[in-house]
């Protein structure tokens, strides 16, 4: 969770205690992973405080390292601390009304100090599910001509391309400017106003979604939450179940997973699948079930993950792209291979994950520098965790070169994770050279 320094330090402290107990009983991370039925990646991330784990993990870990309940008690204290902070933060967090004349205020990465609040997701998700939204749109009688909407569509496409190529640091200010100018006018009309209204609605939602995605890329998870919830409320007010389901699962569900809350992410995607109902197209269904698989993988639920991936693959095979909404047509076999790779990686199946990453990278265009950087770093991590250190370092250098071409915090985080995965080999010549290179050209990851 992107929470307070106190919570983050408590997570690191708990991880250090686990590592100390594990070493005392002479267990490797792989051996402990087998005993707790999670992947080694989970154990490694927990030990350095980068990832939360559920109570079942700590129960098994406590038994495995003979901690006599100490780890479990410390975990429950951490849960209580986080819950107290969430309650305090939720008391001052209020979803703004979807007044069409009031748009998000944060306009710079400094908004990263806004916390991500998992407890603030449940009510908006329930409101969307049952179709209740007291914040009805405010109409001002605005009418837009087609030329304005066409230009807004073009501008959104340009901003998306720039984001894919360079990362959010290069595009977020322009996206915020877009929200405060063109989108301010676009949200003043309704999809019920005819074809122009429907197109304006889609552009407005796409702009909010892009702003949220970029906030994640900047490390501003709380700001991303605000953007996504505004978009979700807008779909609820307009009765757009299909885009609402997509936002709830793919945007908000992924955000919860990214912030270390797999149970909350699972709840969001399950709500989306239930609420999407017959309106869900095959491609959107594939996207929803891919996130469902990611949540199950993060929880170590391999069978459920496999079942969700099977549904996603079957849905993708049935999809006719021409019959799908334009905003989901990016979902290709290469994109799904990327999701499968992350699932396998989280489950500790590194060789199958490597094969899926190869397929994903082969299907990504050269202009998608951020995606190439993240996937190449993930590939390097699979090699590192398989003991193929020379290959991991070679791929790690490629990932570093790609990451330095972006302004994406996510790429930096992914390369930093690779550095952690290579830490058991930190005295080998190839690893020392890679770490020196990281410090030189991508110091934030070093």
How many residues are given for the chain?
Answer: 446
Query: pLDDT digits over 153-206, tens only?
Result: 999 999 998 888 888 887 888 999 999 888 888 887 766 667 888 888 899 999
CB under 8 Å to 148, separation ≥6 — which residues?
A: 182, 185
**Whole-number Cα distances in Å, 49 to 33, 78, 359:** 16, 12, 31
Q: What is the mean pLDDT of the chain?
A: 85
Write down the pLDDT at residue 87.
54
Does residue 17 have a pLDDT over 50? Answer: yes
Q: How confident is the model at residue 22 (pLDDT cuts 50, 70, 90)?
A: very high
**CA dist., res. 196 & res. 360, Å (int):** 36
What pTM did the predictor assign?
0.73
Query: pLDDT digits over 378-420, tens only?
Result: 999 999 999 999 999 999 999 999 999 988 888 998 999 999 8
Does residue 25 have a pLDDT over 70? Answer: yes
Query: pLDDT digits over 79-138, tens only?
Result: 777 766 655 544 433 333 333 333 333 334 444 457 888 889 999 998 898 885 544 444
Q: What is the helix (H) or strand (E) element at residue 11, kind and residue range?
A: helix 5-24
H helices present in 118-253, as ranges: 122-130, 146-166, 168-180, 182-186, 195-217, 221-238, 241-246
CATH class of 5-90: mainly alpha
Centre a 10 Å sphere on the Cβ of residue 169 and count the other Cβ atoms it contains: 16
CB 214 within 8 A of CB 228: no
H helices present in 37-145, as ranges: 40-47, 55-64, 70-90, 122-130
Half-sphere exposure in the Cβ direction for 265 (13 Å, CA): 25
If we measure between CA atoms, which residue out of 68, 95, 40 comes closest to residue 353?
A: 40
CB under 8 Å to 172, separation ≥6 — which residues?
A: 108, 109, 211, 214, 215, 218
Query: pLDDT digits over 421-438, tens only?
Result: 998 898 899 999 999 999
Write down the pLDDT at residue 102.
31
Q: Domain 250-331 falls in which CATH fold?
A: 1.25.40
Query: pLDDT digits over 292-332, tens only?
Result: 999 999 999 999 999 999 999 999 999 999 999 999 999 99
Is the Cα dihedral 169, 174, 178, 180 positive or negative?
Answer: positive
Domain boundaries of the chain, sorted by first residue = 5-90, 99-239, 250-331, 352-446
**Residue 233 vs residue 40, higher pLDDT:** 233
**CA dist., res. 114 & res. 259, Å (int):** 13
């Amino acid at each position: 969770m992107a929470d307070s320094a106190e919570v983050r330090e408590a997570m690191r402290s708990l991880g250090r205690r686990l590592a100390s107990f594990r070493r005392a009983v002479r267990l490797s991370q792989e051996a402990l992973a087998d005993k707790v039925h999670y992947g080694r990646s989970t154990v490694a991330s927990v030990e350095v405080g980068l990832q939360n784990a559920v109570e079942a993990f700590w129960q098994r870990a406590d038994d495995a390292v003979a901690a006599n309940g100490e780890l479990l008690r410390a975990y429950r204290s951490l849960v209580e601390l986080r819950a107290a902070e969430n309650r305090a933060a939720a008391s001052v967090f209020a979803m703004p009304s979807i007044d069409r004349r009031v748009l998000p205020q944060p306009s710079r990465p400094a908004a990263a100090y806004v916390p991500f609040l998992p407890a603030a997701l449940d009510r908006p998700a329930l409101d969307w599910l049952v179709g209740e939204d007291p914040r009805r749109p405010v109409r001002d009688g605005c009418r837009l001509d087609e030329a304005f909407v066409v230009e807004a569509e073009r501008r959104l496409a340009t901003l998306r391309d720039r984001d894919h190529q360079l990362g959010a640091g290069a595009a977020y200010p322009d996206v915020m400017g877009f929200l405060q100018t063109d989108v301010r006018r676009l949200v003043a009309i309704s999809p019920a106003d005819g074809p122009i209204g429907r197109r304006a609605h889609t552009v407005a939602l796409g702009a909010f979604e892009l702003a949220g995605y970029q906030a994640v890329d900047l490390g501003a998870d709380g700001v991303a939450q605000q953007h996504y919830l505004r978009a979700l409320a807008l779909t609820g007010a307009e009765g757009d179940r299909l885009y609402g389901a997509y936002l709830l699962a793919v945007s908000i569900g992924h955000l919860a997973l990214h912030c270390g809350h797999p149970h909350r992410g699972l709840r969001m995607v399950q709500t989306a699948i239930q609420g999407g109902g017959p309106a869900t197209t095959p491609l959107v269904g594939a996207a929803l079930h891919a996130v469902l698989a990611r949540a199950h993988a993060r929880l170590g639920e391999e069978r459920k993950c496999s079942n969700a991936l099977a549904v996603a693959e079957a849905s993708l095979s049935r999809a006719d792209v021409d019959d799908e909404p334009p905003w989901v047509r990016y979902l290709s076999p290469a994109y799904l291979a990327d999701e499968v790779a992350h699932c396998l990686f989280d489950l500790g199946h590194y060789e199958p994950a490597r094969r899926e990453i190869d397929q994903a990278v082969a299907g990504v265009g050269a202009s998608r520098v951020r995606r190439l950087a993240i996937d190449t770093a993930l590939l390097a991590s699979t090699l590192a965790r398989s003991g193929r250190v020379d290959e991991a370092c070679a791929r790690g250098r490629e990932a570093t070169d790609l990451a330095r071409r972006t302004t994406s915090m996510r790429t930096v985080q992914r390369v930093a994770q690779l550095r952690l995965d290579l830490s058991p080999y930190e005295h080998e010549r190839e690893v020392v050279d890679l770490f020196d290179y990281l410090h030189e050209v991508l110091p934030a990851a070093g």
